[in-house]
Amino acid sequence: MTPTTDTSDTDFEAEVRAMLTRRAGDVSPSPASGRHVTAVADRGLSPAPAARRTVRRTSRPARPLLVAALVVVVCGSALAVRSSVPGADDTTVTGEPDGEVTFPAPGTDGWDPATAPPVWPVVGEAALAQLPDDPHAEIGALATPERAAAAYLDDVSILLAPDPAGLVLSPDRRTAQIPWDGRDGGAGDPPVPTGSVFLRAVGEGTGALWVVVGAVTADANLEDVRVDDGTLGVTIALTPSPGTSVSVRVGIDGQFVPVRGELLPQGAAPDPSSGELVRLSDDGRARVTVGVKPGEQADILVRLVGGDFLTVTHMAIEVPVPADPSTAAPSDPESGEPGADPGGQADDAAAPAGDPLPTPAGPLDGTGVLALDAGRGSAVEVAQAYLDDRLPERADGLGLDDGRSTQGTIPGGGAIVVIPWRIEPVEDAFGHVASDNPPLADRYSGEVQLRQIDGGWAVVAATTDQIALRDVRREGTSVTLTIDRLDDAAIDLIDLAVFDLDGNPVGEPTSAPLGVPGTYSIDLGAGVAPDAALTVRARHVGGTWFSLTEVRVPPAGA
């Protein structure tokens, strides 16, 4: 029987109510301004007086930060790559006599994916160098064009998915185009929209990354992209859908700016990443304008709305900086126009070449293999057994997302497979969707990395996107490590422990509060050989396990 509040309890309830009201007066909140909170969040700081943790920008999707390190690692080389890409002058940013500058839209004549500014994971070339280091990005979302496209589409619309079978690589393998379409149209539903994602490689060899430089949708185009006297304008042309609306989001240097449309979602709090609803004229067109300044990076994202985002059309520009007359490129003798400025980054073309990219650590270097179930079952089965072993009482919905797994080949032979894990929203019998509960669904995600050994599969490492470990090493009778990027609440807790390869605990586990970057030490006790094979696990502990990060501990002196 469900208990109910009896009227006889009314007096006691009133007493409780009065007590709570009285005790609420114990605290005298002293808020900083609300502007301060959003500002420090944007800057990656804590609003607390003693800044204790890093916070990612709202305007940046999660996955870009997961792959930040690789971007940082290769950004120097990226410049060199850009300067040496054949046909680097193909993207034409056209200067007009009256000061207007026009930009070709992705997929149109004059637009070159090899030199176009990235739209994801960051906007603009300059932003690549500003991303933080991330040691867990070695084989992350940017490792292949297919993975980068999938991660990008995941960020802009849950309904869209790439079709890896349609991947088209340029002859030099530096650019790629992958078609996308909507998911699960279902019987009777209208045909799903289609389009393409354009990517280009940054860096060389096994360390090359793929960034998205544009996306197009069939029948939804960007036209007349133009900067004129401090105003960026773009015409959205959608056919054949007169009278409809599209979501338009314009970001300037990472900040979304109003485009004079209706806020999205309708009937709810404004959502900066959703853009604004811009109504098209009868001929399916609309022009939006925003103010820009020289040197700013802008991205224009247009999505058709229908319950979710059904399409994606995306491009980025970099507002040209007026040339110094003494160093301006000579005019084209035939057109009279200023010299071409590939991607709006003419200065970068002269940048010196960077050092060769280091080979990523991890599965590719053949170290760090965990002794678990090698040789039994498929990679997915081994990964599942691994999760079951490491997180027997894990959060509801925490599981493998093997539909998004990727496979690669190790130079010299062998294969690696990366299988994402995440916490899926769970709907209970009452209809409560767990995704409404902030600590659970979508709070954590990561990867299980496997390597093929002797025909079987072995787990190499597990990563958590939101919990990054680095500098794991033996120091005397301890294992030390640094937690250097955390997005989570400072009041949560990470359980840190060391195990041998049979899964037996070694030494005294310790705890690290989430949100407190720093170096931690786990005492192993006496008698552990310097070259003992050990792993260190970091798990977010609550009523259940919410996350799993596990890497090998290099032997002492390594």
Partner 1 sequence: MATVPLDSSPPVARWDDALVQLYELHYDHLVRLAYLVSGQAGQAEEIVQDAFVRTHQAWAKVRDPLPYLRTTVVNGCRSLGRRQQLERERRPRAPEPVGLGADELWDALATLSDRQRAAIVLRFYCDLPDHDIAAILGCRQATVRTSVHRGLARLRKEIDR
- Residue 294 or 339 with smaller CB distance to partner 1: 294
d(CA 549, CA 495): 10
Give the residue with the Cβ less far from partner 1, 198 or 499: 499
Q: Which member of 163, 495, 500, 523 binds partner 1 (CB under 8 A)? A: 495
Longest dimension (CA), the chain: 94
Long-range contacts, 194-198 (Cβ 8 Å, 24+) = 194/218, 195/220, 195/311, 195/312, 195/313, 196/107, 197/149, 197/152, 197/153, 197/162, 197/312, 198/106, 198/107, 198/113, 198/116
- Residue 226 in tokens: 């133009």
Distance of closest approach, residue 192 Cβ to partner 1, in angstroms: 23
Residue 256 binds partner 1 (CB under 8 A): yes
Q: Is 285 in the site for partner 1 (CB under 8 A)?
A: yes
Write out the two tokens for 182. 């909507």
Compute how many residues bind partner 1; rule: CB under 8 A. Answer: 90
Residues 43-62 that bind partner 1 (CB under 8 A): 46-48, 55-56, 58
Which range in 106-114, 123-131, 203-211, 507-515 contacts partner 1 by CB under 8 A?
A: 507-515
When binding is defined by CB under 8 A, the residue of 490, 519, 525, 530 that contacts partner 1 is: 490
Note whether 16 binds partner 1 by CB under 8 A. Answer: yes
CB of 333 to partner 1, least distance (A): 33
**Nearest distance from residue 299's CB to partner 1, in Å?**
15
Residue 108 contacts partner 1 per CB under 8 A: no
Which whole-number Å values give the CA distances from 365 to 193, 298, 450, 500, 534, in the listed order? 41, 38, 13, 21, 18
Q: Nearer to partner 1 by C-beta: 27 or 165?
A: 27
- The one-letter amino acid at 109: D
DSSP H or E segment with residue 519: strand 518-523
Q: Please report whether residue 355 would count as binding partner 1 according to CB under 8 A.
A: no
Binding residues for partner 1 restricted to 513-542, rule: CB under 8 A: 513, 515, 541-542
Asked if 295 interacts with partner 1 (CB under 8 A), we say: no
Q: Which of 70, 123, 176, 286 binds partner 1 (CB under 8 A)?
A: 286
**Shortest reach from residue 287's CB to partner 1, in Å:** 4
Closer of 237 and 460 to partner 1 (Cβ) = 237
d(CA 437, CA 434): 5
- Closer CB to partner 1, 43 or 376, in the complex: 43
**Binders of partner 1 among 426-465, rule CB under 8 A?**
428, 430, 432, 434-440, 442
**DSSP string covering 398-427:** EEE-GGG-EEEE-TTS-EEEEEEEEE---B
Choose which of 169, 323, 415, 489 interacts with partner 1 (CB under 8 A). 489
Q: Is residue 258 close enough to count as binding partner 1 by CB under 8 A?
A: yes
- Tell me which of 167, 169, 321, 493 binds partner 1, using CB under 8 A: 493
Nearer to partner 1, 20 or 529 (CB): 20
The mark string for 303-342 relative to partner 1 (x by CB under 8 A, - otherwise) is: ----------------------------------------
- Does residue 181 touch partner 1 according to CB under 8 A? no
Of the candidates 355, 356, 358, 345, the residue with the CA atom closest to the CA atom of residue 83: 345
Min separation Cβ 227 and partner 1, Å: 12
Q: CB 339: neighbour CB atoms within 10 A?
A: 13
Q: 263: number of CA atoms within 13 Å, CB side?
A: 8
Q: Which is nearer to partner 1, 273 or 482 (CB)?
A: 273
Residue with tokens 């090899």: 114
If the CB atoms of residues 489 and 556 are measured against partner 1, the closer one turns out to be 489
Quick one: which of 218, 257, 380, 556 contacts partner 1 (CB under 8 A)? 257
| CB contact at 8 A, 397 and 426 | yes
407 binds partner 1 (CB under 8 A): no
User: Contact 46/36 with Cβ under 8 angstroms?
Assistant: no
Nearest to 395 by CA among 540, 234, 523: 540
Residues from 57 through 86 that contact partner 1 (CB under 8 A)? 58
Cα–Cα distance for residue pair 504/476, rounded to 1 Å: 20
Q: Is 283 a residue that touches partner 1 (CB under 8 A)? A: yes
Q: Report the distance separating Cα 470 and Cα 492, nearest Å.
A: 20
Does position 254 interact with partner 1 (CB under 8 A)? The reply is: no
Told to check if 350 binds partner 1 by CB under 8 A, we report no
Q: Establish if 281 lies at the interface with partner 1 (CB under 8 A).
A: yes
Residues 6+ apart with CB under 8 A from 256: 59, 249, 250, 272, 273, 275
Which of the stretches 33-41, 78-86, 107-115, 467-475 binds partner 1 when contact is defined by CB under 8 A?
33-41
Given 221, 247, 274, 405, the residue binding partner 1 (CB under 8 A): 274
Residues 6+ apart with CB under 8 A from 95: 101, 320, 337, 338
Strands 220-228 and 276-279: unpaired
Q: Which stretch binds partner 1 (CB under 8 A): 32-40, 102-110, 214-222, 352-360?
A: 32-40
Compute the least distance from the CB of residue 151 to partner 1, in Å: 16
Choose, by CB under 8 A, the member of 41, 169, 192, 410 that binds partner 1.
Answer: 41
**Which of residues 278, 300, 423, 534 is near partner 1 by CB under 8 A?**
278
183-188: long-range contacts, CB 8 A cutoff, minimum separation 24: 183/159
Query: Contacts with partner 1 in 201-240 (CB under 8 A)?
Result: 231, 233, 235
Contact region with partner 1 (CB under 8 A), list: 8-16, 123-131, 323-331, 531-539: 8-16
Angle at CA of residue 6, ends 15 and 20, nearest 5°: 25
Q: Hey, what are 412's tokens? A: 């010299």
Cβ(296)–Cβ(309) below 8 Å: no
